[in-house]
Structures are given as C-alpha cells and as structure tokens.
A and B are shown apart, each in its own frame.
Chain A
Amino acid sequence: MPSAPTPVPDAPVPEARNGGAAPAKGAGRSAAGRFDPHRFGPVIGLILLLVVGTALNPDFATWDNLMNVLTRTAFIGIISIGMCFVIISGGIDLSVGSMAALIAGAMILAMNALQPLLASPVAVVGLGMLFALLLGGGFGLAHGLLITRGRIEPFIVTLGTLGIFRAVLTWLADGGAITLDGDLSDAYGPVYYGSLLGVPVPVWIFLLVALAGALLLNRTAFGRYVQAIGSNEQVARFAAVEVDRVKVLTYGLLGVCVGIATLLYVPRLGSASPTTGILWELEAIAAVIVGGTSFKGGEGRVAGTVVGAVLLSVISNILNLTSIISVYLNAAVQGCVIIAVAFLQRRRP
C-alpha cells in the first residue's frame, strides 16, 4: 500500500480483536523461539503421511512421484496463496474454480483467434498468458468492488459469479470442450511439461508465488492492513486503514493468482471443458484452513497454506498408489486426514 497516510502499529490492532485468537502477530513472534506443536501441526501431518506413503509403496518416495505431486499441487497451491489473503482479511471467494475454467476457455479462444494474425506461436502464447492475468485481476477487482461498494456479502457475490463464470464457459464451449490448436499446444507445452534444474516449471512458479506471498503478508504495510482488517474491521478503520481499498486489492490479488494457476493449467491438456476446475474452491479453502489460517480471519500463514495444499494432494496420491482401501472410501480417508490435521493445529480457546 504505497499511499497509506499513517502506518498502523503492529501491536494495538490484533489486541483490539474481540474474542477469538487474540494475539495474532505478537504470539507468533514470541513463540518463534520455542517449539509450538499447534503451529507445526500441518508439517507433522505431512511428515506422517510421507512416512505412511513410503511404507505402503516404495515408489512413493521417488523423485518422479514427488515432482508429479508437487506439479499437480501447483494450481491449487497458487490459488490457495491468494485465498489465504482473502480469508485473513475476513472474506471468502467461492468462485475460483469456475473462474479458472472461464479464464482457461477465454484464453484458449483468444490464442486460437490470434494465431492467424501473428507469425510466432510464442508471441501468441505470451499474449494469451498476459490476457489470462488481466482477466483474473479484472474478475477479482470486480468481486472486490461488488463486496465493498456494493455492500454485498462476499459469500453471495462469489456464489453468484461461481454460477456465472461456469455457465459462460459452458456456453462458449457449446457444452463440449474448447481445445488449443496443435501448433500453439506445442509452443505452450513446456510451460507445464518443461523443467529447470530437474524441477518442473510449475513447481518453480509455485515456489516464487509462495515466497512473494509470504513477503507481502509479513513484511509490508499491505500485509499488516489485511491482518488488521480481518482482526477487527472497525478498529482498522479508526486506525486510518483504507479498508475498502485493501479489500478490493485482496480479491484482485486472488484473481491474479487464479490467472497464474490457469496459465500453468492450460498447457497440461490444452483444453477447457465444463468440468475444468470443479470444486477447486473447496480444495483451496481447505488448504488454507488446514494450513493453520483462522477461518474467522485476522491471522494466517502462507507457509502453512503451501503445506496444506501439498498435504491434500499427497493423500490422493497415496490412495492411488495402493489398493488397501475400497475406492468407494477414498473421500472418507481424505476427510479423516483433513479433520485430524485440523485437530493437530487447533488453537486454545
């Protein structure tokens, strides 16, 4: 937040929070020295899962499998980082899966339309990626404006756009699939399938987004405002935080994250269909909460969110690599693990 009039001091705002987990930042810092099992709940859960996975199938612990899992986590992971900001600020966004599907479809249509006009497929792909980011940012800002200026609950706004985005995609796709042209598919492929120093490109981008997110949340005025608003919006307002503006920006940020996730997703299958991104919103929200962010807002962790997202995909990976449990029960296993991890990182009342 470049043009904020007065910097908000760290301590007073979280303290002003009525009830709930009061000392958000203060406790985090003072506890950094000693080991807090609640804070490391998700990490402990993940380590346990890794041990179980390796014991059940030795192929689990191979580099290739690890990279497969991290690569497929990248989409949800990147969206979760954006979602982390929205939830910390006390908001929610249910539309991200539909938004990703619509951005994917619109982006493919735009690239297919540009192809005859430009000689270089790489240029077309570059413009397509830019388009995806702009579209995501635009959708996010629109959410933010409807929520702040329109004074509509975020749950309702994004429930509405959840339906709108997916319906528009289905309409654009005529109920079928929107598919990227062959040449473009070849030029775009490396963005998902390529790797750098043995690590796939989407994993690098996931890492960069996570680092940027952690920096933004913990080391900038914007990050402090987001936490202050989630802790107590009234107090933040009195402390001269431009609440509406910060909120709009968090939704815009999430939109851009969805755009980034989509531009990594499109080269995987080269297509978008009405089933693209179904239930991503729940996975993203689950990753954020499992990672130790308070659903009520006010406090949260980017690193925890990353661990949460990885944890969720490791569960389904282990289930696919074994057949000790009936496939009918897969969702139940996932449910149990999510609840167990949430229990490990629960807060004291």
Chain B
Amino acid sequence: MSEVARFSRRVLLGTGLAVAMAAGFGGAVLAADPVKLGVSIPAATHGFTGGIVWWANEAKKELEKAHPNLKITVKTASNAPEQANQLQDLVTVTKIDSLVIFPFESAALTQPVVQAKKKNVYVTVVDRGLTDPNAQDAYIAGDNTAFGRIPAEYIAKKYNGKANVVALRGIPTTLDNERWDAFTAVMSKHPDIKILDAKYANWNRDDAFKVTQDFLTRFKDIDVIWAADDDMAIGVLKAIDQAKRTDVKEVFGGAGSKVMVKTILDGSNPLIQADVSYSPKFIYDAIKLTAEARLKGEKLPATHIIPSSLITKENAKEFYFPDSPY
C-alpha cells in the first residue's frame, strides 16, 4: 500500500517537475549547457554483455555526432567492486552530470549510486533495479516476466495444451527465477503440458550440450525444449543432432541473438520457429532517452519497461541487426 503511495507520489512529483521544466523556466537555459554523460556497464564476458558493450558504443557514436555539446564516457567493469570504483572516478575525475548504469548487483551498487546522486548526478538505472529506488531518477529494463510468459503461451497454443517439455535454466539469480516463475505460471493452467525436468546450464553452450544429452538419455519422448537463452539453444541443437532424435519438434531459445533471428528469418532449421526478444539494445535506448532528455533539461518517466515480443518468421526482420556481435 505504502509502496503504491510512494510510487504514485514519485510519479506525480516527476510529472510535475517535467511539466514545470517543459513550461519553460530553466528549460531553455539547460538546453544550451553541455551534458557529460557517464555509462557504466559490465564487461563483455557473455554474448549478451558483449552486445551491451557494442550497443553502448553505438549510442555514443551516434549521439555525439548528432549533439556536439554531448560528451559520453563508456566504462566497462568485470565485477561489482570495480564498477563502484569506476563510478567514483566518473563522478570526481570525469565530472559527469548524468549517469546510465547497468549494475552488476543490485545491493552492492546501491550505496555508490546514492553517493553519485548526492553530487547532483542524474541517474538512470538499467536492467537490475537498485535496492533503494530513491537512488535512481529513472529505471529502464527489459521484461523478464514476458521472457518466460511468451514462450510458455506460444508452446501451449501451438501444441494445443498438450506436450512434454524439458527446460534449461540459467544461473541461480532473481532474474532467472522471474523468468522461470512466469513460465511455470502459464504452464500450470495447462494440465496436459508436462514439464519433465529443468536443470541449470549456466547460460553456457557447453553445459547446455551436456544437460541436453542427459535429458535425451533420460526421457524418450520430448516435444519441446525450452532452452531459455539463444546461447544455450546452440548447445541443445547440437545434442539433438548427435543423438539423431526425431521426437523433439521445437527448441525455444530466448533474447533474439542475431544467429537465431537469422535462422528464423531463413527458415533454415525446422526446430527453430520462434524466439522472444530481450535485446541488449535496451542500453542503447536508455542512453539515447537519457541524453536527449538531459539536453532538453527534461526528466524521464520513473519506470520504463522495454517490452519483450514474440519473434516469428513474419516479424524477424525488425529484430535482425547483422553488425551487432550478439
């Protein structure tokens, strides 16, 4: 209840401020001021974070070209303490006035972000929310619930509520739990869909290969494998190939990597029919939204969820970015 109250108060306050800004006092003055935007993201250690780094640099290139009075500094960190140090450097050395941060961990990065905000830095948090939402001005994220819900609905509909499903999970995290809970919530409404088992394969191709090999040994009749990640789907496909199994009708990945989207677009693998988008492009959107709002002296809405959508042959073109590494 109080959560809701606080939320709506914040929205009201935010809207009020935005209206006030737009109404003109200060808006015009701020627009002429240069904006120094810091971007703090995880280093490229997985296909997905590789995509994050690439899209952040794309945003820097495009936006700095379009707005000469905008300076963007991109920093990558390989763990939470390193990210906290970089954040300090961004504030004290680079003297940023706006920040877009994709935190490694919610809890560990909350205090460092609060410190930055105290120095009047405008903070946009991406993907993982901070434990204290007051530390952020805006929150932009992908939709993890839809990441689990969409494949479940798709499978339930396509197989008329009757199928044997095995699933892979990522790394034990809240993010993975949200996806898994959304997936099982939909499936629980379809009593004839059996989830035979689910095991962690760490968002890793090799682990996915091994787990799938063992699933194929254990279960003789599988209709669908929910790989829950496009990297893992690659390992799953290889294992099915090797076992020469024909009972598996479909493999559903997740995130919309360019390899999978291309496969759907070309129809080159009958096992890959659809995917759900969870593109690292949201860091690009977050930087662009923040930079443009700051240049105009405006505020962003407190929460902005970038929807995940079902990718099929019909719309795959919109999700295909051949230059991105992911």
* B218 pairs with A320, CB closer than 8 A: yes
* A176 pairs with B45, CB closer than 8 A: no
Give the bracket for the number of chain A residues in contact with chain B.
20 to 34
Interfacial residues of chain A within 40-73, with CB under 8 A of chain B in the complex: 57, 59-60, 62, 64-65, 68, 72
Residue B104 CB within 8 A of the other chain = no
Give the bracket for the number of chain B residues in contact with chain A.
35 or more
User: Smallest distance from the beta carbon of B199 to chain A beta carbons, Å?
Assistant: 6
* B217 pairs with A321, CB closer than 8 A: yes
CB-CB contacts of B167-192 with A at 8 A, as 1s and 0s? 00100100000000000000000000
* A268 pairs with B238, CB closer than 8 A: yes
Question: Knowing A271-B234, A320-B199, A321-B217 touch, does A177 contact B206 (C-beta < 8 A)?
Answer: no
* A175 pairs with B209, CB closer than 8 A: no
* B46 pairs with A316, CB closer than 8 A: no
* A274 pairs with B209, CB closer than 8 A: no
* B325 pairs with A323, CB closer than 8 A: no
* B210 pairs with A175, CB closer than 8 A: no
Measured CA separation A274–B48 after assembly (Å): 11
- Choose the segment among B12-20, B22-30, B50-58, B105-113 that binds chain A (4+ C-beta atoms closer than 8 Å): B50-58
User: Smallest distance from the beta carbon of A168 to chain B beta carbons, Å?
Assistant: 13
* A274 pairs with B206, CB closer than 8 A: no
User: Smallest distance from the beta carbon of B237 to chain A beta carbons, Å?
Assistant: 9
* A173 pairs with B218, CB closer than 8 A: no
Residue of A nearest to B243 (CB): A64
User: Smallest distance from the beta carbon of A186 to chain B beta carbons, Å?
Assistant: 12
User: Smallest distance from the beta carbon of B30 to chain A beta carbons, Å?
Assistant: 35
Measured CA separation A221–B197 after assembly (Å): 53
The A-B contact count (CB < 8 A) is 93
Question: Knowing A68-B217, A175-B49, A175-B54 touch, does A278 contact B204 (C-beta < 8 A)?
Answer: yes
* B54 pairs with A174, CB closer than 8 A: yes
Question: Knowing A176-B50, A269-B206 touch, does A275 contact B45 (C-beta < 8 A)?
Answer: yes
* A317 pairs with B49, CB closer than 8 A: no
* B211 pairs with A320, CB closer than 8 A: yes
B217's partner among A62, A173, A273, A276 (CB-CB below 8 A) is A62
Residue A193 CB within 8 A of the other chain = yes
Residues of B within 8 A of A327 (CB): 169, 198-200
Residue A330 CB within 8 A of the other chain = yes
Residues of B within 8 A of A193 (CB): 242
Residue B132 CB within 8 A of the other chain = no
CB-CB contacts of B46-82 with A at 8 A, as 1s and 0s? 1101110110000000000000000000000000000
Residue B213 CB within 8 A of the other chain = yes
Residues of A within 8 A of B204 (CB): 275, 278
Residues of A within 8 A of B203 (CB): 275
Residue B214 CB within 8 A of the other chain = yes
Question: Knowing A72-B210, A193-B242, A269-B235 touch, does A175 contact B215 (C-beta < 8 A)?
Answer: no
* A177 pairs with B214, CB closer than 8 A: no
Most buried by A among B202, B213, B231: B213
Residue A238 CB within 8 A of the other chain = no
Residue of A nearest to B45 (CB): A274
Question: Knowing A175-B44, A176-B326, A273-B47 touch, does A320 contact B210 (C-beta < 8 A)?
Answer: yes
Interfacial residues of chain A within 162-184, with CB under 8 A of chain B in the complex: 170, 173-177, 179
Residue B128 CB within 8 A of the other chain = no
* B197 pairs with A323, CB closer than 8 A: yes
Interfacial residues of chain A within 308-324, with CB under 8 A of chain B in the complex: 316-317, 320-321, 323
Residues of B within 8 A of A317 (CB): 214
Residues of A within 8 A of B235 (CB): 269
* A68 pairs with B325, CB closer than 8 A: no
Residues of B within 8 A of A176 (CB): 44, 47, 50-51, 325-326
User: Smallest distance from the beta carbon of A77 to chain B beta carbons, Å?
Assistant: 15
* B46 pairs with A274, CB closer than 8 A: yes
Residues of B within 8 A of A177 (CB): 47, 231, 325
- 22 of the cross-chain contacts (CB-CB < 8 Å) are A59-B217, A62-B217, A65-B217, A72-B210, A170-B50, A174-B44, A174-B50, A174-B325, A175-B45, A175-B54, A176-B47, A176-B51, A268-B238, A273-B205, A274-B47, A275-B231, A278-B204, A317-B214, A320-B211, A327-B169, A327-B200, A330-B200
Given A177-B231, A275-B231, A328-B172, output 18 extra A-B contacts at Cβ < 8 Å: A59-B218, A62-B217, A170-B50, A174-B50, A175-B51, A176-B325, A179-B259, A268-B206, A269-B235, A273-B47, A275-B202, A275-B205, A278-B204, A320-B199, A320-B211, A320-B214, A320-B215, A320-B218
